[in-house]
Amino acid sequence: MTKALDLTTPLYSALSANAAVTSKLATYKGKDGVEKPAIFMQDPAPKDAVLPYIIGGSIPGDRPDDTKNCYGREVLRDLRIYTKNDGDNLKVEEIAEEVRRMFHRKRTALTVSGFAVNGISASGPMSTDSLEVYGRIVTLRISLSED
């Protein structure tokens, strides 16, 4: 029987623990009244969120990756980084490159309850600029097998 998968908690934990990422983000005071880095694991970000921030709620793919001996999954997860379009996209590039660097080929970057992380690859960053924001998407391909 396959187990329930929670990638949201470990992704948020990893991102919020990386000072190279969080030092470039705004902060956000959530419902608990505690100010935290502007990393949102739901989509869309809260209406009162201030740029720059990261949204990690998009799951563009999730497919079985079973073997003869265990259940497995390959999950795609988008991490979208946004900054204000102020004529200089360096900040969004720096954040996106750090996000990519922290996960690409680093399977120990995540600890997922009930699963072994077999590998992580990161692609991008892909541009999603608009008139209001600079945006980049880093897509993680996470290979998991049940413990």
CA distance 55 to 31: 17
Q: How far apart are CA 25 and CA 39, in angstroms?
A: 8
Q: What is the pLDDT of residue 141?
A: 96
pLDDT tens-digit series, residues 102-122: 999 998 889 999 999 999 999
The tens digit of pLDDT for each residue in 80-107 reads 999 999 989 999 999 999 999 999 999 8
Confidence band for 32, pLDDT divided at 50, 70 and 90: confident
Q: How many CB atoms lie within 10 A of CB 85?
A: 16
Neighbours of 60 (CB within 10 A): 10
CB-CB contact of 43 with 29 (8 Å): no
Q: What residue ranges define each of the domains in the chain, with the CATH number in brackets?
A: 8-146 (3.30.2000.30)
